[in-house]
A and B are shown apart, each in its own frame.
Chain A
Amino acid sequence: MNWPINQRMPNCPLKTDQTDLLLDDAAGTLARRGLDAATMAALSEHMETCPECLAFRAGQKMVWAALDLWEPGPVSQDFNRRLWQRIEAAAAAPWYTRLAESLRMTSWKPLIPLAAAMLVIAGGFLLDHPTTKKTSDVTIIEADQVEQTLDDIQLLRQLDVTTTQSTSQTNQTKM
Chain B
Amino acid sequence: MLQGVNTITGTAPASDLDAQLMLRVKDGDEHSFTVLLEKHRNPVIHFVFRMVQDRAVAEEISQEVFLRVYKSRETYEPTARFTTWLFRIATHLALNWLRDGKKERGHQRLDAPAKSEKDGELPAREVSDRRPSVEQRMVYETKLQEVRTAIALLPEKQRAAVLMHKYEEMEYSQIANVLECSESAVKSLLFRAYETLRSRLAHMAIGEARS
Beta-carbon contact of A83 and B1 below 8 Å? no
Alpha-carbon separation in the docked complex, A29 to B45 (Å): 24
Beta-carbon contact of A79 and B59 below 8 Å? yes
**Using Cβ atoms and an 8 Å threshold, which residues of chain A touch B151?**
67, 70
**Using Cβ atoms and an 8 Å threshold, which residues of chain A touch B34?**
80
Is B67 interfacial (CB 8 A cutoff)? yes
Interface residues of B in 123-162 (CB under 8 A from A): 123, 140, 143-144, 146-148, 150-151, 162
B194 CB to nearest chain A CB (Å): 6
**Using Cβ atoms and an 8 Å threshold, which residues of chain B touch A106?**
1-2, 96
Given contacts A23-B191, A73-B118, contact A80 B41 (CB under 8 A): yes
Stretch at the interface among A44-52, A58-66, A123-131: A58-66
Alpha-carbon separation in the docked complex, A19 to B95 (Å): 27
**Using Cβ atoms and an 8 Å threshold, which residues of chain B touch A36?**
none
Interfacial residues, chain B to chain A (CB-CB below 8 A): 1-2, 34, 37, 41-42, 45-46, 49-50, 55, 59, 61-64, 66-67, 70-71, 93, 95-96, 99-100, 116-118, 123, 140, 143-144, 146-148, 150-151, 162, 165-167, 169, 171-172, 187, 190-191, 194, 197-198, 201-202, 204-205
Alpha-carbon separation in the docked complex, A69 to B15 (Å): 33
Beta-carbon contact of B117 and A72 below 8 Å? yes
Of A20, A72, A73, A80, which contacts B190 at CB under 8 A? A20
Beta-carbon contact of A72 and B49 below 8 Å? yes
The 9 closest A-B pairs by CB, nearest first: A73-B117, A107-B96, A72-B46, A62-B205, A59-B198, A20-B187, A19-B191, A71-B123, A63-B197
Given contacts A69-B143, A69-B144, A72-B50, contact A63 B41 (CB under 8 A): no
A35 CB to nearest chain B CB (Å): 14
A91 CB to nearest chain B CB (Å): 9
Smallest Cβ-Cβ distance to A71: which chain B residue = B123
Is A105 interfacial (CB 8 A cutoff)? yes
B181 CB to nearest chain A CB (Å): 15
Alpha-carbon separation in the docked complex, A81 to B202 (Å): 43
Beta-carbon contact of A83 and B194 below 8 Å? no
Given contacts A20-B190, A29-B169, A106-B2, contact A74 B63 (CB under 8 A): no
A4-21 toward B: CB 8 Å interface, digit per residue (1/0)? Answer: 000000000000000110
A103 CB to nearest chain B CB (Å): 10
Beta-carbon contact of A83 and B63 below 8 Å? yes
Smallest Cβ-Cβ distance to A33: which chain B residue = B171
Alpha-carbon separation in the docked complex, A64 to B165 (Å): 11
**Using Cβ atoms and an 8 Å threshold, which residues of chain A touch B169?**
29
Alpha-carbon separation in the docked complex, A109 to B188 (Å): 26
